[in-house]
């Protein structure tokens, strides 16, 4: 099938590349001309494992094309995936202006009927607005549009694997024909007819993904409800960590035992600096906002958000307790990305920590395997290092903000020899207190005695 992808960010590129690998012909476009130039030149503008390989294969097989001309891409595909950003507005509501702009472009540029699919995360009832917008922007006698919702559940860092091996594919549709079209698009994924770079073509046998056909409103709600629930779980674990600190229990022991109960599950129960990124914080806010708008008070989500924001304050309490004075101290931030294996720093806890450290007059040094380039644009006053050992030379304290493998494996004996003071504050509960203390470190983390 011929598909169009509008928006070549994390979701758009992974969707485009993986659907091309599944045999479709994919036309991608983006307002960011520089990004399209890079993609046309064979460069990948984001860091995501396996994505370069999938793109390269698709390009070699002439299955994926990039153009800065939206009209060209819109006319080429029978089905259009909208993958543009939906960032939060100041009041927390989702900013849907990019979706609206794209709807206008589709309505004015399409010359044949199109199925328009929301893949961006949008609040429930956006589909209804999209149908209206496409009709309102269409010229008299314009083409026919159908609309569907196909929320994306990929996680940055494992996005290619998640797209090729989803646990569910949700399609919100208004009619059977649309459900069939989406079934056709995803059939190669469901039947595993693609080359999987994650498993070098030898994917382990596993249960096939569930292909769930719902209404458009339900599909939109499923995405927000899922993300908000996971955010809630993280905040729950973080309050347990606070409680553990007060009563001398160990959050790892508690959450591990909790997670063994299949009704609870072990994922997303890690205490620490909380969640960041382009999904959880904004989706939580948008869900709270949507609920309020329709007269439902989603109090527990507000609490989850509050707890998450407090993590930074709790971290600073630990920093102050250990360092006393922050001004003029050399403090090293280990990790800038909001999670390991991505270069995405949007809403990363490390950013707020750096902002506060700079405000208090610290000499801030930072390192990250992939995200330095992006952080430099935001914080030019920070001193960046590619090598964590270089960063730690002469440091008064190290703050672990993102649990990259490279940081999990730091040889603290070696690092400690060049640090001005052996002090580590672990925002991700990665290191063991006993081992750190044996190396002569002052060590603190969340929820562990």
Ligand X SMILES: NC(=O)c1ccc[n+]([C@@H]2O[C@H](COP(=O)([O-])OP(=O)(O)OC[C@H]3O[C@@H](n4cnc5c(N)ncnc54)[C@H](O)[C@@H]3O)[C@@H](O)[C@H]2O)c1
Give contact residues for ligand X (rule: CB under 6 A): 6-12, 29-32, 35, 83-86, 98, 101-102, 120-121, 152, 154, 156, 278-279
Closest approach of ligand X to the CB of residue 356, in Å: 25
Helices 51-60, 10-21: crossing angle, 10 deg rounding: 50
- The separation between the first and the last C-alpha atoms of the chain, rounded to the nearest angstrom, is 57
Distance from C-alpha of 197 to C-alpha of 158, rounded to nearest angstrom: 12
Tokens of 281: 């914080």
Cβ at position 83, least distance to ligand X in Å: 5
The residue (of 118 and 368) whose beta carbon lies closer to ligand X is 118
Q: Nearer Cβ to ligand X, position 88 or 272?
A: 88
286 contact partners, CB below 8 Å, separation of at least 6: 86, 88, 92, 93, 94, 121, 123, 224
Min dist. Cβ of residue 275 to ligand X (A): 12
CB nearer to ligand X: give 158 or 310.
Answer: 158
For residues 7 and 369, which CB has a smaller minimum distance to ligand X in the complex? Answer: 7
Measured CA to CA, the distance from residue 309 to residue 313 in angstroms comes to: 8
Beta carbon of residue 312, minimum distance to ligand X (angstroms, whole number): 22
Nearest to 284 by CA among 272, 273, 299: 299
Strand positions, DSSP E, 322-441? 330-334, 363-367, 383-385, 397-400, 423-426
Q: Which is nearer to ligand X, 285 or 445 (CB)?
A: 285
Which residue number, 341 or 429, has a Cβ lying nearer to ligand X? 341
Instruction: Give the span between the Cα atoms of 375 and 368, in whole angstroms.
Output: 9
The length of the chain, given as a count of residues = 449
Active site residues: 279
Nearer to ligand X, 161 or 426 (CB): 161
Q: Which residue in the shown chain puts its C-beta closest to ligand X?
A: 9
| Nearest-approach distance from CB 304 to ligand X, in angstroms | 18
Nearer to ligand X, 156 or 403 (CB): 156
* Closest by CA position to 349, among listed 334, 337, 363, 332: 337
Q: How far is the CB of 102 from ligand X (least distance, A)?
A: 5
Please, what is the minimum distance in Å from the beta carbon of residue 227 to ligand X? 8
Closer residue to ligand X (CB): 5 or 331: 5
Nearest approach, Cβ of 29 to ligand X (angstroms)? Answer: 6
Minimum Å gap between C-beta 123 and ligand X is 10
């Amino acid at each position: 099938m011929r598909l169009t992808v509008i928006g070549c960010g994390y979701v758009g590129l992974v969707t485009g590349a993986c659907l091309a690998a599944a045999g479709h012909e994919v036309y991608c476009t983006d307002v960011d001309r520089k990004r399209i130039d890079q993609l046309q030149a064979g460069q990948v503008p984001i860091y995501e494992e396996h994505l370069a390989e999938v793109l390269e294969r698709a390009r070699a097989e002439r299955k994926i094309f990039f153009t800065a001309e939206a009209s060209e891409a819109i006319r080429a595909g029978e089905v259009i995936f909208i993958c543009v950003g939906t960032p939060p507005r100041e009041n927390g509501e989702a900013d849907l202006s990019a979706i609206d702009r794209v709807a206008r472009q589709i309505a004015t540029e399409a010359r044949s009927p199109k199925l328009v699919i929301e893949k961006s995360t949008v609040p429930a009832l956006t589909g209804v607005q999209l149908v209206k917008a496409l009709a309102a922007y269409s010229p008299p006698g314009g083409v026919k549009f159908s609309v569907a919702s196909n929320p994306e559940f990929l996680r940055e860092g494992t996005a290619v694997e998640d797209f090729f091996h989803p646990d569910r594919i949700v399609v919100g549709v208004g009619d059977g024909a649309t459900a069939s079209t989406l079934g056709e698009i995803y059939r190669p994924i469901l039947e595993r007819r693609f080359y999987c770079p994650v498993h070098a073509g030898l994917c382990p046998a596993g249960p096939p993904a569930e292909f769930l056909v719902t209404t458009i409103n339900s599909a939109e709600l499923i995405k927000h409800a899922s993300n908000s629930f996971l955010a809630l779980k993280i905040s729950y674990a973080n309050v347990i960590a606070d409680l553990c600190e007060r009563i001398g229990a160990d959050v790892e022991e508690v959450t591990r035992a909790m997670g063994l109960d299949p009704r609870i599950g072990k994922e997303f129960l890690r205490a620490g600096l909380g969640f960041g990124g382009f999904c959880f914080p904004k989706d939580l806010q948008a869900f709270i906002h949507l609920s309020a708008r329709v007269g439902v008070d989603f109090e527990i989500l507000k609490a989850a958000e509050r707890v998450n924001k407090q993590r930074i304050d709790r971290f600073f309490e630990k920093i102050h307790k250990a360092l006393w004075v922050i001004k003029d101290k050399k403090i090293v931030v280990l990790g800038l990305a909001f999670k390991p294996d991505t270069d995405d720093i949007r809403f990363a806890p490390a950013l707020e920590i750096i902002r506060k450290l700079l405000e208090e007059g610290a000499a801030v040094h930072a390192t990250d395997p992939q995200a330095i380039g992006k952080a430099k644009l935001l914080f030019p006053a920070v001193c960046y290092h590619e090598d964590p050992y270089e960063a730690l030379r002469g440091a008064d304290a190290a703050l672990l903000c993102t649990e990259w493998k490279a940081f999990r494996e730091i040889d603290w004996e070696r690092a400690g020899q060049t640090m001005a003071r052996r002090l580590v504050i672990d925002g991700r509960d990665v290191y063991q207190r006993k081992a750190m203390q044996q190396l002569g470190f002052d060590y603190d983390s969340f929820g562990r005695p």
